[in-house]
Amino acid sequence: MIGRGRSSDWSTSFFANRTSQTDEDGSAPRKLTGGEHDVLDTLGETNVMAVIGLFGGLLLGLAARLGRFCTLGAIEDWLYGGSDTRLRMWALAIGVAILGSFGLMAVGLFDPARSFYLFVAWSPAASIAGGLMFGYGMAMAGNCGYGALARLGGGDLRSFVIVVVMGLAAYATISGPLAWLRIVIFPPASAGSTPAGLAHLIGDTFGLSVAAIGIVIGLTVITLSLVGGTLRQDRRAIGWGIVVGLAVVSSWAGTYYVDQNGFGGLAVVSHTFAAPVGETILYGMTATGQHLSFGIGSVAGVWIGAFLGSLIKGHFRWEACEDPRELRRQILGAALMGVGAVVAIGCSIGQGLSAFSLLAFSAPLTFAAIFAGAALGLRQLIEGFLPAE
């Protein structure tokens, strides 16, 4: 279990949606009386978690197909397309997620300290190495795990290969043949006793309200995303950027509700798309012996949302890979993404949005490394590494 002041292997963070957590005094999470928990009793806590993940995943899937929300696309547009719209759209989503998360904290509907992102044993070296691997793999594969799910929803069978390979690689790195190598290179460290987040650091240092600090930072990020550039003129991009941010916020609110009112001790989580893809594959093979989870619901939600979005746009069509060299590159990229996401404790969504929404120290460093890795991979694909004549 990932807890305060405990030594923990980073791989356990990917199973957070199945991990028991306790309150400050060591007791089980409180459970309210009356009708407030009827939905948990009726549906079951794990099923409710899956529904929460499904809802946010639907929003993310629709945003990918209807709003063109894409990590690699944003980076490629900025580096080679002369447009910062989708990159600012990403920043807007981060700002909305920060504002919403700390806004929930201000009214008592969420406690960021319940998330493993703020207490997991964090290594800057792992964030850099894993982020670079993930970013480079993302460029080689043509999209991230989230983007591959969205493309699969539109009928792209090449993305099916990417999703499967990435999920298997993630699980192989968490607890499979690659786990020992990961532990040797990045030994588990002792998790801190205080939240590893910017808002909490400022609040503890100056005696200020953590929620207020987070809200101010969120508003600042939103403002900066809209100042200059072309995003202000693109209402569709603004709208879908807000939707993506709210998808993250809804997940924190929903899973925190289950954590506080249920007996299962399920952890407070939000969206990420590496290990949950592998978990979904495993569930597909062993459903009778497994429970649903937030991660499985999230993966299914993105696929369904993307499928609906492709139908709305009239873009659904079956596609397959005709070039073995392209398929080889995509398989390699998917494997790198699976390994890199585990090492960095999150993918472009897990660190780039979910962890960022809590202002976790790991988020900006990991996202910068993902950006650098993607830029390197895109340069190799577009320009090559040979010097100009």
Q: Rounded CA gap, 257 and 262, in Å? A: 8
Owning domain of residue 249 = 48-316+324-379
DSSP 7: B
Q: Report the alpha-carbon distance of residue 319 to residue 152 in Å, rounded.
A: 9
- 269 in a structural domain: yes
* pTM greater than 0.95 (yes/no): no
- Domain assignment present for 370: yes
Q: Is 266 exposed, middle or buried (0-12, 13-18, 19+ CB in 10 A)?
A: buried
Is 258 part of any domain?
yes
Digit-by-digit pLDDT tens for the chain (389 residues) are 333 333 345 444 444 444 444 444 444 444 444 455 678 888 899 999 999 999 999 999 999 999 999 999 999 999 999 999 999 999 999 999 999 999 999 999 999 988 989 988 789 999 999 999 999 999 999 999 999 999 999 999 999 999 999 999 999 999 999 999 999 999 987 766 788 999 999 999 999 999 999 999 999 999 999 998 789 999 999 999 999 999 999 999 999 999 999 887 888 999 999 999 999 999 999 998 889 999 999 999 999 999 999 999 999 999 998 888 999 999 999 999 999 999 999 999 999 999 999 999 999 999 999 999 999 999 999 987 644 44
Decide: residue 121, CB within 10 A, 0-12 exposed, 13-18 middle, 19+ buried. buried
Is residue 35 situated within a structural domain? no
What distance in Å separates the CA atoms of residue 210 and residue 127, rounded to the nearest whole number? 25
Residues 6+ apart with CB under 8 A from 336: 133, 134, 136, 137, 140, 169
Whether 372 is covered by a domain: the verdict is: yes
Domain-located, residue 1: no
| Axis-axis angle for helices 145-153, 294-313 (nearest 10) | 50
Q: How far is residue 54's CA from residue 36's CA, in Å, rounded to a whole number? A: 21
Domain assignment of residue 31, yes or no: no
Residue 283 lies in a domain: yes
Domain total in the chain: 1
